[in-house]
Structure 1
Amino acid sequence: MALRQTALASRSRITSSLSSAACLNSPSARAYATVGTTTYIGQPPPPPTPPPAASSSSTTAANLSSVFDAQILYELRRRCQLAPGSSTGSQVQLPKLVEQYLDRGGLVLDSSLPYESRPGKDRRIDVDESAALDSVAMIVHAAQQGAEHKITHCSGFALSAPGLSEGQSVMVTCAHTLEEIRHSPILRRDAPPNANNAALPSVSGSFVITGPSSSPTFSPVSSILSSLHRSDLLLMSAPPSPFPALRTLPVSPYPAQPGARIRAHFVTHKEPVPGAGAEGWRPWVGGTWSKWIRGTVLGYRDMAGREAKPGTYDALSHLLFDPTPTPGSSGGPIIDEESGAVIGVVLGTQMQNRLQGVCGWGVPSEMIFEMFSLPGLKLNNRS
């Protein structure tokens, strides 16, 4: 009897062991981790350092002088004052311009832009002799509410676009400075009031500024004619004859080949230090300095960032060039040194890779023609 009980107990232990092994080898079995005394739990990481408080008044990276800022805000307030017998001032405010910018994305104008790949002597841009004062303008977007204000600025240049309203001046520039200021709390209606702006109406608008620092000319932007959001471009108009001595620039519809020599309009808000690097810099608008920098076309990219080549079916969406532009140069022209025509627009910088580093980032001038009708072609039923 004792032997039988011992045998049954042994069989029970063997069966239990086999059952446990089967469970561990079964696909449906779960393995659970256990925490023992040798498991160490580290201290939680320290909280991130909070960013510094934003100043109540700000500009873009290339800060303008406080004196010029005050002059911009004075012009803004003066033009936003109610005219006698009118319910609005003479300045078109930014919310209206932003609405046009969004609604007119991809709009093709009735006017056509002349093809000037090889402009004549009277039209080509001779950067060795002509100063930027008569070729490039400063574009400023400004908003103020109480003690708070926001100013963004970039460059732009005039186009020869026959067929638009008589005397209407057309400027091409970048769109990201308008994008920056349109997200400012000063322009947002849902922004909570504070001690600096409570119960105070906001004033805003855009200017095309030309002329020397001693006597700049402020021309209010009257409308956004068209925009290409993905290309970071927009066309703006101003009242008749707003740009004294500002010439229209010839624009080529054809891309420059990689390796082509160019001149790009660069801007700096600091006076160049005397020396070899200061040669060619000239006083520009608002106490800034400008120079036609020598450079080279490096290549092109499509919208996906892939390499694109001119003379093929590749979409030349962006232009790479050297050297890298300075803050405030966005919207300025890129000139083909051989032909003297605009072949691109400066947008900013782009990181190529660790070997090639950062290069200039722009858009080919053929994208400007996307906002104009083709010569001799009439489009019907356009929105």
Structure 2
Amino acid sequence: YKKADIRCYCGGHFCRTCAGCSDWKRDGNNWKRVGNGCHLSHSSSSVHNQSIKATTSFTTLLEQLNSNANVQLPYILPYENTGRKNVTTKYDFTRAVVTIAHLIPLKNEVIVASGFAVLDGGLIVTCAHTFYQAARHLSCSELDQKSQSIVITDEGELIPVATVESHLVRSDIVLLRLQGGRQIPSLAVDPYPAPKSTSLLSYNFVTASLTSTSRPTISYSWKPAEVLFYKGPCGQEATTGTYDELSAMMYSHPPSNGSSGGPIVNEETKSVVGIIRGSEVNYATRKSIGFATPSECLFEAFKLPGMPDGLE
């Protein structure tokens, strides 16, 4: 099958393609993506040769998706709608973007998504649906302790995922803790929805390569886009600045395979305003457009500023 042909229902919207749920199969000694778009090539043992041994299996991470559903973390995510003074170039904010690979070696499968770091750089934000896509390749009878999820940084470093800290079910958001207390540069997050026609930069995953003799390399680009409109939980058009619930931000650039979970930043402030989820067809224009979770939804996983401890 081809991943580009898979349609899903999420967040009240039908007929969507999950962006970035890149599916890979082994062809000889190389990994290749099934379908159009990106591909990953590496020797069959290179991931295990290069990566630090994970203490948490993929099966355990799946269990944590349920046990930590809608958990509020004991941290405050700063309101950074004006961005950061030290972030001025694309390189400055690309360092916080990662590729996430779910490895299922017993089935020779690798599912790839994107993500980005927040707070002190030890928490990674990504999408949940790629976990469930990878889970389809597991069987209850398998001893799957070799399965794992790893984060590939912009510099090519491999860091295993230690835990799923929180899973915002309705928003398709997962927060992951890096193994060993590792930290990477983080991104500013805007707590307010970007108004219609706001100029954006959308992360666009292209390819990833991994060999046993060199560090992984990630090819990517930042695609210019703009906010088109918002949708509510039932698919109806929603308006910013009102009491409407904003479940999805529709934007002009359809994301590539492998981009799911990656950031969309305000072109001016460089703050994150959306988390990539997929694409759908705008039947009014008959063109494919992107849809994302508004960044304001991410704050549901954190304490509100000024709220006392123990108050739910």
TM-score scaled by length of structure 1: 0.66
Q: Is the 8 A contact 2:264 2:276 kept in 1?
A: yes
Match of 1:113 among 77, 90, 112: 77
Residue of structure 1 aligned with 2:282, choices 339, 352, 359: 352
TM superposition shift of 1:107: 0.8
Whether the 8 Å contact between 1:64 and 1:288 is mirrored in structure 2 is no
Tell me if structure 1 keeps the 8 A contact 2:38–2:208: no
Residue type of the partner of 1:220? P
Higher strand share: 2
Q: Which is higher, the Rg of structure 1 or of structure 2?
A: 1
Separation in structure 2 between the aligned mates of residue 69 and residue 321 of structure 1, nearest angstrom: 38
Question: Cα gap change, 1:69/1:262 in structure 2, threshold over 3 Å: closer, same or farther?
Answer: farther
* 1:178 corresponding residue in structure 2: 131
CA RMSD of aligned residues (A): 2.7
Question: Structure 1, unaligned stretches of length 5 or more?
Answer: 1-53, 80-89, 162-167, 192-199, 272-284
Write out per-residue CA displacement over residues 265-324 of structure 1, whole angstroms, 9 at most, x where no aligned residue: 1111299xxxxxxxxxxxxx8444211111111111011110001000000111100111
Runs of 4+ in 1 over 4 A off after TM superposition: 54-63
Report the Cα offset of residue 211 of structure 1. 4.0
Match of 2:16?
none
**Structure 1 Cα separation of the partners of residues 221 and 273 of structure 2:** 18
Q: Does 1:374 align with 2:304?
A: yes
1:221 partner SS:
strand
Name the CA distance, whole Å, in 2 between partners of 1:270 and 1:190: 31
Indicate how the Cα distance of structure 1 residues 310 and 60 shifts in structure 2: closer, same or farther if over 3 A, else same. Answer: farther
Cα drift, residue 354 of structure 1? 5.0
Cα distance in 2 for residues equivalent to 1:304 and 1:237: 32
| Aligned mates of 1:60, 1:242 — CA distance in 2 | 32
Residues 250 and 342 in structure 1, CA contact (< 8 A), matched pair in contact too: yes
Aligned 1:206-285 pairs, distance under 5 A: 206-212=149-155, 216-240=156-180, 242-243=182-183, 246-269=184-207
State the 1:337 CA deviation: 1.2
- Correspondence 1:118-129 to 2 at 5 A: 118-122=82-86, 124=87, 126-127=89-90
1:65 aligns with: 40
Q: Tell me, what secondary structure is at the counterpart of 1:140?
A: strand
Report Cα offsets for 1:243-280 as digits up to 9, x if no partner: 4xx31100010011010101111111299xxxxxxxxx
Does 1:96 pair with 2:96?
A: no
Tell me which of 141, 153, 157 is aligned to 2:112. 153
> Which structure has the higher relative contact order (CA within 8 Å, separation 6+)?
2
Name which of 296, 299, 304 aligns with 2:234.
Answer: 304
Residues 114 and 262 of structure 2 are in contact (CA less than 8 Å); yes or no, is this contact kept in structure 1? yes
Quote the Cα distance in structure 2 between the aligned partners of 1:363 and 1:377.
Answer: 25
Q: CA deviation at 1:157?
A: 0.7
Pair 1:143-2:143 in alignment: no
Partner of 1:274: none
Q: 2: distance between equivalents of 1:149 and 1:336?
A: 38
Q: How does 1:48-59 map to 2 (within 5 A)?
A: none
Once residues 296 and 68 of structure 1 are traced to their aligned partners in structure 2, the CA distance between those partners, rounded to angstroms, is: 39
The one-letter code sitting in structure 1 at the alignment partner of 2:41 is S
1:203 aligns with 2:162: no
Correspondence for 1:14 = none
Tell me how far 1:235 sits from its aligned partner: 0.2
1:281 alignment counterpart: none
For the residues of structure 1 that align with 2:280 and 2:223, how far apart are their CA atoms? 18
Q: What amino acid maps onto 1:330 in structure 2?
A: S
- The CA deviation at 1:228 is 1.3
Give the total of aligned pairs. 279
Q: Percent identity?
A: 29
Deviation at 1:241, TM superposition (A): 5.0
SS of the residue corresponding to residue 196 of structure 2 reads coil
Higher helix share: 1
* Helix, strand or coil at the partner of 1:111: strand
Q: Unpaired segments of 5 or more residues in structure 2? A: 1-23, 210-214
Secondary structure at 1:107's aligned position in 2?
A: coil
> How far is 1:338 from its partner?
1.8
Distance 1:369 1:270, change over 3 A: closer
Q: Is the 8 A contact 1:263 1:334 kept in 2?
A: yes
Maintained 8 Å contact 2:84/2:188: no
